[in-house]
Structure 1
Amino acid sequence: MQTIFGRFSQISIAAAALLGASTGLQAQDFPITPSQKATAAEVAQTGIPEADLAPNAPDSYIVRPGDTLWAISRMFLKSPWRWPELWGMNLNDIRNPHLIYPGQQLYLEKSNGKATLRTRRAGSGAEPYNTVHVSPRTRYETLADASIPTLAPQDIEPFLAEPLIVDELTFSQAPRIVATQEGRVLLSRGDRAYARGAYVGDGAGKPLSDAKGEPLDFRVFRNATPLKDPTTQQILGYEAHYVGKVELVRGESTAQSTDKDGQAQTDIVPATIDIVTAKEEMRVGDRLIPEPPRELRSYVPRAPSTQITGQIVSVYGNGIVHAAENQIVVVNRGALDGLERGHVMAIAKDGERLLDKTDSARPNLKLPNERNGLLMVFRTFDTLSYALVLQVTDSVKVGDRFANPD
């Protein structure tokens, strides 16, 4: 519901991130770039060509619970990554593109070959849907926000905590589980185990400590799998397999004792950890990575401002070869290549290589790459990134290429 205070209208503030936020975090500005603002301002004045509208764009639409800005953009525009233009089409009525609420009605207006999108009909003088006039007063609101997100949270949230790309040295020197109670081989939620961060042999790593300021929460990973460029076969990084989370109860220490010959000796007392979450059963040798700080995440689907091309390196998940819609893939471009969170890329199915059997010389043929869908980058590392497959016409596989969507 929109509430009008005197002459000014106010919509509830965005108090949570579009994805991955939790109640209790303060509202933050969402990442709208200067170029997106300029595009929006221009389109707000002129509209967009009717030819750029989706073939079945409705004349009006009431925003419903469960809608996303991406879905609404697909409804009105042929190219949903042109999200800034959808924002520009309703810039006068919706000041913040992240604040569109269930119950609001959107009207598509067409004039002189141009189209604009507004929350009220032109010339109607009508106030927005479900408006109430009240006197100025102080208003308190919970941080939980009812505005629709850019993408469905459940499509990405599980993968923000799970995948991790590391270099081989970092993973090999990470703290690890060294022992279990009663010699158990497998560990699950509620079990207690023991871990170490230091190594006597090469001096790498540092002891796990429960001192103030030291991390107490850790994610647990196993089997750092090399991720290779499909063309060059160069190892770009290592993907660690997520198995759960643990909490540090006591840090590492040492104790003095005597051996069987009565000689004094120093014993290593490993840190004590409790398993709080187990996606899979843990075991001795699994590695501990400190839980990163919670981020207020938002996603602004958009095309990159520069040309970026690359290939799909892997499909996330054990033994998965092909990816479908809403699955996660790793691509061989990252922050160092200019790839950013929110970049939308077009997927191209790698054309098959075969012999021309109609030619007696049997020359080799390479069929053209065919466009196969869209993906959106949601997490970047230096040379690799995770991306969500937004839409696809055929399954996506390792080696398939991607490029700017325009």
Structure 2
Amino acid sequence: MKNFSTGAARSLAIRTAATAAFAFLAAIPAQAATTCSFRPNAPDQHVVVKGDTLWDISGAFLEHPWCWPQVWGMNRDDIRNPHWIYPGQVVYFDRAHGRLTLNKPGTATDAGEPPVVRLSPQLRTDDLGENNAVPAIPAGAIEPFLTQPLVVEQQALAGAARIVAAQEDRLYLVEGDRIYVRGALDGATSFQVFRPGKELVDPDTNKVTAYEAAYVGTARLVKAAGPGTDVHTFVVTKSVKEMGVGDRLLPTPPAPLRNYVPHAPARPVVARVMAMASESNYAAQNQVVTVNRGTLDGLDVGAVLQFYHLGQTVTDPESKGFLGFGKARLRLPDEQYGELFIFRVFDHVAYGLVMQVTAPVQIGDVAKSPE
């Protein structure tokens, strides 16, 4: 096991990490944002453990966990330069000043300066690495949705290249097989292969806006179509399901952003749940759903929406309808029951991770900007 030395370089690295962590928890008064009020039963402290998320930690202190960037002094620019906290650190609730801090309230170090963190000699240096930092949300729940085309919008499907033939007329392809592709490549050389599936219908317009897509593997360009040929030559680099003629290709997306700062959308958004990632008709906490709004509607990565069940229409038992006939019909208010964290966005659709909910999420449910 590696031990820390007392050299200047190691000392600087430790102090830098501590400074960054303190900056991440720099507090503002709770009353500065009414939506970011502290819970009446908030604990005095929380010891950060492996498996914690920033959402979980914030939920122990705040009425609305998603607004922790406001209370901890972050903004959207911090996505590009994130500050981290790590297992073993203690987050304190300084009730006197209405803030969160890494220093115990009332101690000599609690003076607004970055703390000097004393690390035991047996602590590994790589424990300060990014991989050990506390994530904003459960990363494992969304990993497949960051890199695989599980939803493909109508325009993207129409322009996608497709497999038109295979080496030696093979019906199903495996790694190393050659395939022949027709369509525009737009300068890309690495592609994901998918198979279009069920149509996704916008609940508001009843029009098809996207398609579910079964990810089947990846392929790499070997030789682009030249004079006298109509197809590009590819080689299959990965096959996770049966791949064959008719499957489509899209360029491999860039490395996804994994440092999330939750925030309300820049402008009001009212979305509807279009589809579930699971085979069920319902979704629960830490499951993924697709909504019918995207970047063109004001959503971006990190946006938070609130779930609502549409209010039911009921009969007023003591009323009289028009001209005394029948009973009056009353529409009950929509009921807010949870929150949705947007983590991948396309033009007209987006993936969201279901956060704390008090009821199952259903297709057609409303998800709109926090009030």
TM-score by length of 2: 0.77
- What pairs up with 1:7-406 in 2 under 5 angstroms? 9-11=15-17, 42-43=28-29, 52-88=37-73, 98-111=83-96, 115-125=98-108, 130-131=118-119, 144-163=130-149, 165-187=151-173, 189-190=174-175, 192-198=177-183, 205=184, 214-223=187-196, 225-253=198-226, 271-278=233-240, 280-317=241-278, 319-353=279-313, 361-406=326-371
CA distance in 1, matches of 2:352, 2:303: 9
CA distance in 2, matches of 1:217, 1:400: 37
CA distance in 1, matches of 2:129, 2:59: 29
Note if contact 1:162-1:242 (Cα within 8 Å) is conserved in structure 2: yes
Q: CA RMSD in A?
A: 3.7
* Count of aligned pairs: 341
Query: % of aligned pairs identical?
Result: 37
CA distance in 1, matches of 2:137, 2:168: 46
- Structure 2 CA distance for partners of 1:130 and 1:231, relative to 1, 3 Å: same
CA distance in 2, matches of 1:223, 1:309: 27
Q: Deviation of residue 299 (structure 1)?
A: 0.8
Q: Deviation of residue 140 (structure 1)?
A: 10
- Structure 2 CA distance for partners of 1:355 and 1:179, relative to 1, 3 Å: farther
CA distance in 1, matches of 2:311, 2:337: 11
- Give the structure with the higher percent helix: 2
Note if contact 2:51-2:134 (Cα within 8 Å) is conserved in structure 1: yes
Q: Deviation of residue 345 (structure 1)?
A: 1.1
Q: Deviation of residue 124 (structure 1)?
A: 1.9
- Structure 2 CA distance for partners of 1:269 and 1:227, relative to 1, 3 Å: closer
Note if contact 1:53-1:77 (Cα within 8 Å) is conserved in structure 2: yes
Note if contact 1:219-1:244 (Cα within 8 Å) is conserved in structure 2: yes
**SS of equivalent residue, structure 2 residue 29:** helix
* Structure 2 unaligned regions, length at least 5: 75-80, 110-114, 320-324
- Structure 2 CA distance for partners of 1:339 and 1:47, relative to 1, 3 Å: closer
Note if contact 1:104-1:128 (Cα within 8 Å) is conserved in structure 2: no
CA distance in 1, matches of 2:370, 2:231: 56
- Structure 2 CA distance for partners of 1:288 and 1:73, relative to 1, 3 Å: same
Q: Deviation of residue 195 (structure 1)?
A: 2.1
Q: Is 219-228 or 332-341 further displaced after alignment?
A: 219-228
- Give the structure with the higher percent strand: 1
Q: Deviation of residue 324 (structure 1)?
A: 1.3
Residue deviations 1:176-226 (CA, integer Å, cap 9, x gap): 122234544333x4251412224xxxxxx46x9xxxxx4332111212644
